[in-house]
Structure 1
């Protein structure tokens, strides 16, 4: 790892630790929020983070990315429950990074046992048996968000001179993204509660995919397959991915 990546991941580890007490429905939100979006507006951070003396601003020291992975794995182990086998449809969390060709989906999935979860809904959109919208599972989280915003303010007071946290744009984005994640958790839990599913395919462990993965792990779902982790570049790669999924559920055709 070079100086830039070492400092970035160390800063991320500091953030997770500094805000670990911010919890909603049993989830530590510092693990789920999209960290790059929070710090992106900081004017000078991206230049200074590449400097060796930036380590003086840090508490943590990451020398290998596996440290971050292990941190997440250890935390996930504290909330996940044993896998509960379900004879139910497979769901695909539809976002721009999902690039599984329709020909491959048709070959490996029974369309009557496949549900697409849309992450955005236009006014004219209507849910169907095989296509649902996250927004349809939203509830009122205002009270929880107000409580957590106050908690964040209290934590920020502890870091009044922190190089990153004292930046007003970073503070604004932190509160905005935390509120966003609270909504995501709420919608994911409501969806999983109301719709019977066997597993969910996500594209990336960023943004909503990460929230969905943590929520599902807590509810005893089959482990997720993140197709970007396989560097899926061609049809053979997609076939290998889906064959792996078939072996995981031990079914001739996924969802049947």
Structure 2
């Protein structure tokens, strides 16, 4: 562990200890607070100072292994772990639907019977608001003349309501549960201010942005604890599925569920490229992609029974037949049908200089180059600089993969998805803080220098023997990264059955 990481995790452990007495209804606010990393990394001066050995004068804890943070959370979870509840035996599987779950409603309905499933959202039911708004608009009580007499119009017959069938997955909203927390929120916030005041020279706590965010988060955390309790008291739940326990709502739902003896499954929402997004592990079982993640979590002390290689249901698309023919795809984007196509995945304007150099290096290959601008849907600025570079427009990656010949990406999940779709993949990497080395097994197919990577791509398209090397490397990589290519949805279904059977009293 380098100095920056050691100081960061030590700082985090200090935060947990310094605010250990800041609680609400038995829950520690600090343990539910998310996301500590963003508060530290967004402060450039503070983040840079973590690499200084002298920073240790600001911290009391000395973390030498990430396992120490995981152990702290494990001990906390054990305090809130309740016995299995009888009602969960006949309960439903609940999916907390947020932007990171990436399992659509139709997919949920294909995996689980709708009558045994429900969805919970944290936000507001916008469709219900529209309906309610429309109902407020009362019809005009205009009168019409029949003969010489004015009479009121007859109201139209009320339409027969459509009965809800068992084929519909019900959706519930946490915001629909009433709460009155203003008084207690003020009390907890005032206590937080006193703790902050007692550390007036602390490099994080003295920051005004931290204080403002933390005080606002206290109100959110208390509100979500109450709403989660009401929801899980109100519904018969056998299992809770979340996208990540690094979002505070999913974390709160998971801990409240644990207190009620309800098992939780955390899906893996992306490759573990950075450790900051995946430590600590909180759910009963983490449904991981492959051996890489399983071994990574075991090093943190996670028991075997808390890990299951599931993959992800959205990756099942990689094994489906293409829905768009290449000629149609090319014509829509304006590509030359006589040329091969290279897809480049760029995260908005990050590292544009490197990507420009890469494109210049491979320019002599006479390829079509298409850029997937993530997460934006607008054409990337580099599409305007080169005549042979195009935007992928509104196509999804699973419409794009069958119609390109190779993929270049930063260290993102798209690289894995492209390989599952049987496409050669090259990674333009950055050694960012907390990097796990996820793609290192691809050897020379991963480069930080865009010119070197460009020459490797040239070798792939011009040297048959190198093409064989690429195929061999990717096959070896997938053997560890995604060893089971059977239907992920079915594996998730089996996992739910197993953990609900084992936890029901």
Same fold (TM over 0.5): yes
Structure 1 runs not aligned, ≥5 long: 252-256
Evaluate the alpha carbon distance shift between residue 192 and residue 178 of structure 1 in structure 2; reply closer, same or farther with a 3 A threshold.
Answer: same
Distance, in Å, in 2 between the alignment partners of 1:248 and 1:122 is 31
Distance, in Å, in 2 between the alignment partners of 1:31 and 1:5 is 19
Structure 2 runs not aligned, ≥5 long: 130-163, 269-285, 290-310, 317-486
Q: CA deviation at 1:198?
A: 1.3
Q: CA deviation at 1:91?
A: 0.7
Distance, in Å, in 1 between the alignment partners of 2:212 and 2:202 is 15
Distance, in Å, in 2 between the alignment partners of 1:54 and 1:240 is 46
Distance, in Å, in 1 between the alignment partners of 2:200 and 2:236 is 46
Decide which of 235, 238, 246 is 1:198's aligned counterpart.
238
| Counterpart residue number, 2:98 | 95
| Counterpart residue number, 1:60 | 61
**Residues 38-53 of structure 1 mapped to structure 2, 5 A cutoff:** 38-39=39-40, 41-53=42-54
| Counterpart residue number, 1:70 | 71
Evaluate the alpha carbon distance shift between residue 5 and residue 189 of structure 1 in structure 2; reply closer, same or farther with a 3 A threshold.
Answer: same
Distance, in Å, in 2 between the alignment partners of 1:15 and 1:184 is 21
Question: Which segment drifts farther, 97-106 or 240-249?
Answer: 97-106
Distance, in Å, in 2 between the alignment partners of 1:148 and 1:82 is 29
Distance, in Å, in 2 between the alignment partners of 1:114 and 1:202 is 14
Q: CA deviation at 1:141?
A: 0.6
Q: CA deviation at 1:20?
A: 0.6
| Counterpart residue number, 2:306 | none
> The residue matched to 2:172 in structure 1 has which SS?
strand
Q: CA deviation at 1:30?
A: 0.6
Decide which of 201, 211, 218 is 1:178's aligned counterpart.
218
| TM-score scaled by length of structure 1 | 0.89
1:213 aligned onto 2:227: no
1:189–1:215 contact (8 Å) kept in structure 2: yes
| Counterpart residue number, 2:492 | 241
Distance, in Å, in 1 between the alignment partners of 2:489 and 2:15 is 35
2:7–2:55 contact (8 Å) kept in structure 1: yes
Distance, in Å, in 1 between the alignment partners of 2:103 and 2:53 is 42
Evaluate the alpha carbon distance shift between residue 238 and residue 151 of structure 1 in structure 2; reply closer, same or farther with a 3 A threshold.
Answer: same
> The residue matched to 1:151 in structure 2 has which SS?
helix
| Counterpart residue number, 1:33 | 33
Distance, in Å, in 1 between the alignment partners of 2:488 and 2:63 is 32
Q: Per-residue displacement from partner, 1:140-182 (whole Å, max 9, x unpaired)?
A: 1101100001101111121011111111111111111121111
| Counterpart residue number, 2:115 | 112
Q: Per-residue displacement from partner, 1:196-255 (whole Å, max 9, x unpaired)?
A: 21111111011211111111111221x21101141335234443333222222249xxxx
| Counterpart residue number, 1:8 | 8
Evaluate the alpha carbon distance shift between residue 237 and residue 7 of structure 1 in structure 2; reply closer, same or farther with a 3 A threshold.
Answer: farther
| Counterpart residue number, 1:254 | none
Superposed CA RMSD in Å reads 2.3
More strand by share: 2
Evaluate the alpha carbon distance shift between residue 166 and residue 114 of structure 1 in structure 2; reply closer, same or farther with a 3 A threshold.
Answer: same
Q: CA deviation at 1:123?
A: 4.2
> The residue matched to 2:118 in structure 1 has which SS?
strand
1:151 aligned onto 2:191: yes
**Residues 9-24 of structure 1 mapped to structure 2, 5 A cutoff:** 9-24=9-24
Higher relative contact order at CA 8 Å, sep ≥6: structure 1 or structure 2? 1
Q: Which structure has the larger Rg over C-alpha atoms? A: 2
Distance, in Å, in 2 between the alignment partners of 1:124 and 1:100 is 20
> The residue matched to 1:245 in structure 2 has which SS?
helix
Evaluate the alpha carbon distance shift between residue 54 and residue 101 of structure 1 in structure 2; reply closer, same or farther with a 3 A threshold.
Answer: same
Q: Per-residue displacement from partner, 1:71-130 (whole Å, max 9, x unpaired)?
A: 11111111221122421111100011112355653343111111100121154337x971
